């Protein structure tokens, strides 16, 4: 069995429906779904705010590369176009962590190389897994500690919404 932590985000088209498309596609593989968070764009590109969430999913048929491929397929189904690094996107599906593995493979770096720097990943992840840990510089570190190390502005820019990913 393979367990993955996925960070999903969108700020083009219908962002909520784009995020829901991931939840719908994962179906019974979902273990936990965070709330939806509005977040300022990261990376310095002028654009509208994102909707973000974090998911935990299990699938005995997928390995870590399988989660990456599935995320890429879901992005393609949402007409994701990669025009500008950190630019606007219809859907972004990142594999944050997969079975706690560490990989420096350029195709799939695990854990996600900047997850520990991003409150929009850590805040929703901690909502669904308060004991989450992430490997940073060779050591497993509690995600709560990583979040506490971030600038207060970064943490404050992650705002919980009343939106729901699971369809009523």
Query: Tell me: the pLDDT tens digits for 112-149?
Result: 889 999 999 999 999 999 999 999 988 999 999 999 99
Please, what are the domains in the chain? 2-112 (3.30.70.560)
- Cis peptide, bond prior to residue 111, ω within 30 of zero: yes
Locate the DSSP E strands across 36-108. Answer: 37-39, 50-59, 92-98, 103-104
- In tens, the pLDDT along 73-112 reads 999 998 866 666 666 888 999 999 999 989 888 888 888 8
pLDDT at residue 26 tops 80: yes
Active-site residue (options: 20, 29, 92, 97): 92
What's this model's pTM, rounded to 2 decimal places? 0.92
Active site residue 167: no
Find the farthest-apart pair of alpha carbons in the chain and give their distance in angstroms, rounded: 41
How far is Cα 26 from Cα 12, in angstroms, rounded to an integer? 21
Tell me if residue 79 is catalytic: no
């Amino acid at each position: 069995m393979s367990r993955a932590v996925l960070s999903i985000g969108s700020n083009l088209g219908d962002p909520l429906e784009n995020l829901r498309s991931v939840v719908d596609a994962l179906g019974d593989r979902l273990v936990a779904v965070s709330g939806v968070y509005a977040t300022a764009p990261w990376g310095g590109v002028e654009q509208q705010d994102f909707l973000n969430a974090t998911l935990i999913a299990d699938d005995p048929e997928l390995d870590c590369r399988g989660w990456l491929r599935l995320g890429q397929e879901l992005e393609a189904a949402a007409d994701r176009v990669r025009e500008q690094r950190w630019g606007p996107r219809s859907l972004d599906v990142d594999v944050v962590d997969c079975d706690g593995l560490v990989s420096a493979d350029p195709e799939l770096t695990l854990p996600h190389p900047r997850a520990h720097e991003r409150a929009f990943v850590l805040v929703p992840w901690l909502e669904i897994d308060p004991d989450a840990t992430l490997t940073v510089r060779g050591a497993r570190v509690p995600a709560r500690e990583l979040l506490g190390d971030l600038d207060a502005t970064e943490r404050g820019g992650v705002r919980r919404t009343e939106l729901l990913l699971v369809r009523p």
